[in-house]
Amino acid sequence: MEHFRVDYRRDFLTGGLSNTFGVAGKGEIDIGPSIVIRGKKWRPFWFSANVELRFDAAQVANVQRDGRSVHFDVLPGREIPNPGHLTVTAQDEETAGKIAQLLPATRTAVFEQQQRELSDFKERLARATPHAFVTPSLVAINVIVFAAMVVGGVGVIDPDGRMVVSWGSNFGPLTTDGQWWRLFTSMFLHFGIVHLAVNMWALYDTGRVVERLYGNAHFVLLYVGAGLGGSIASLLWNPMVNSAGASGAIFGVYGGLLAFMLDRRNQVPASIMNAQRLSAIMFILYSLISGMRHEGIDNAAHLGGLASGFVMGWLLARPLDAEARSTSGFRRLAIALAAATVALVLAALPIKNTGETYRKDQQYLVDVKWLDEEEKRLAAKIEQWQQLGRSGSPPAELAERLERDIIAPFQAIHDRLTKNPLDENSRLRAHQALVLESITNRLDAFRLLAESIRTDDPRKLEQAKARVAASAKAIEKLGQLTPKK
């Protein structure tokens, strides 16, 4: 009996389908006349439990090794009546090879048929597209652009969004204001090295297969069309978005894979179609759910890219047959290009231009900063005026100094703020309304105070106090609406 320490890992895309016995984590496998599996079994809402499975070696079939991982089926028997599947990961490839050699070499008829179909599929795929050079080229471009961004001062881990905008991200106020090229350039920019690494892994892992399925030129059109579709969907969902990354296009690659594997006319064996469909669906669901659970992930771009990629894939897909590809390649490419152009233009038509709103918001933020400085200066003026009143200055002089040193500057503040009314959909509109309410009430209060001093009218003084109280209420509300830069 040979003893090995292994890991039982469940593929995050296929979950329990890669390990139907639920064994996970570090464990052991004993190989002899009997096979003994020891590990942990995950239990929902509770601690993992130790588990030991024992079955005859004769129940093992269809052994496959992939690097450090060994996959095998468990056929029905006395100890385990239901069939299953296990994946074990060894410490190194040499150990994995030894485990695979010790396990029985039995292969079922269904497995043999699937292997023949897989071998034939790979041969036809290689003949259809001998060189899948587009995918590694796209990965290289993304990496080079990110390196240039880092050299240019953009952070490696958590870059400043404003700097990414300067490199061409899909920033709604600029994109919708005429810089539509950002729909394309944003596909090659990333918010940090983790964002880049995850996207490039997904692109390289699946892109090479999808590129061979469609052909080099068709894959380029699918990728770019999906990326543009994702960028437009992002703007439709949130016109003030600052979005970047290849994920919209990558979702389109998975959408194209799904479209190809749903059409039986493309001459893909059923066993391969089922496996690829499952892989694509699990990736899509996992990514979308993950995006809903974490802030900063643009699921609108993901869904837009997925839908665009699926439609483009359906239009561009051709059977894995050299003759069929040679006769329909250019026609399908032209139809898909025309359809994509029309669809993207129509999809972009409802997008509102948020450029003017953004510029007004930015000017208002400048005004708010200026207002803070002005109010500090006016606070000193008010203190000086109050000292003048305490010193017994004549009412006429007090009123004149009030109008010159306080009322006139407040009027200038009021005039500047009212010259830049924010749009109804501005995120700062409520803030501006409260600022203006506060300034207007204080301006009225000082005017009423000046009239009260000149006419010795106590009613004007009470009215001034009421305006001061109203201004204080507006300032209290304002504290909850501090504008974000």
The residue that leads in pLDDT, 278 or 18, is 278
Nearest alpha carbon to residue 284 among 226, 215, 219, 212: 226
Which neighbouring-strand residues pair with 85? 73
Across the range 1-13, mean pLDDT stands at 75
Q: Which two tokens stand for residue 422?
A: 């924010």
Q: Phi and psi dihedrals of 37, rounded to 5?
A: -110, 125
Q: How confident is the model at residue 15 (pLDDT cuts 50, 70, 90)?
A: very low
HSE, CB side, 13 Å, CA atoms: give it for residue 215.
Answer: 19
Within this chain, do residues 160 and 244 fall inside the same structural domain, yes or no? Answer: yes
Which of 68, 90, 106 is the last residue before a domain boundary?
106
- Residue 223: pLDDT band (50, 70, 90) is very high
Closest by CA position to 402, among listed 443, 438, 370, 368: 443
**Mean pLDDT calculated for residue range 186-202:** 93
152 and 96 assigned to the same domain = no
Question: What is residue 245's predicted lDDT score, i.e. its pLDDT?
Answer: 92
**Structural domain of 443:** 355-478
Catalytic choice (69, 169, 231, 247): 247
Using 50, 70 and 90 to split pLDDT, how confident is the model at 165?
very high
Mean pLDDT for 346-372 is 90
pLDDT of residue 269: 74
DSSP class per residue in 161-213? HHHHHHHT-EEHHHHTTT-TTHHHHGGG--SSHHHHHHHHHHHHHHHHHHHHH
Tell me the C-alpha distance between 278 and 261, whole Å.
10
216 lies in the same domain as 100: no
* Residue 143 clears pLDDT 90, i.e. is over it: yes
Q: What is the pLDDT of residue 16?
A: 45
In a domain, 441, yes or no: yes
Do 171 and 310 share a domain, yes or no?
yes
Is residue 344 domain-shared with residue 359, that is, in the same domain?
no
Q: Are residues 142 and 259 in the same domain?
A: yes
Tell me, yes or no, if the pTM score tops 0.85: no
Confidence of residue 4 (pLDDT cuts 50, 70, 90): very high
Beta bridge partners of 56: 34
Same domain, 368 and 323: no
Regarding whether 242 and 154 lie in a shared domain, the answer is yes
What are the φ/ψ torsions at residue 253 (nearest 5 degrees)?
Answer: -60, -45
Q: Above pLDDT 90, what percent of the chain?
A: 43
Report, as an integer, the average pLDDT of 376-404.
88
Please indicate, yes or no, whether residues 261 and 277 belong to a single structural domain of this protein. Answer: yes
Dihedral of CA 417/423/427/433: which sign?
A: positive
Active-site entry in 190, 195, 218, 302: 302
Inside any domain, residue 483: no
Is residue 112 included in any domain, yes or no?
no
User: Does residue 143 belong to any structural domain of this protein?
Assistant: yes
User: How many domains does one find in the chain?
Assistant: 3
Q: What is the pLDDT of residue 211?
A: 94
CA distance 253 to 247: 10
Rg (CA), the chain: 34
Catalytic site includes residue 119: no
Q: Does 431 qualify as catalytic in the annotation?
A: no
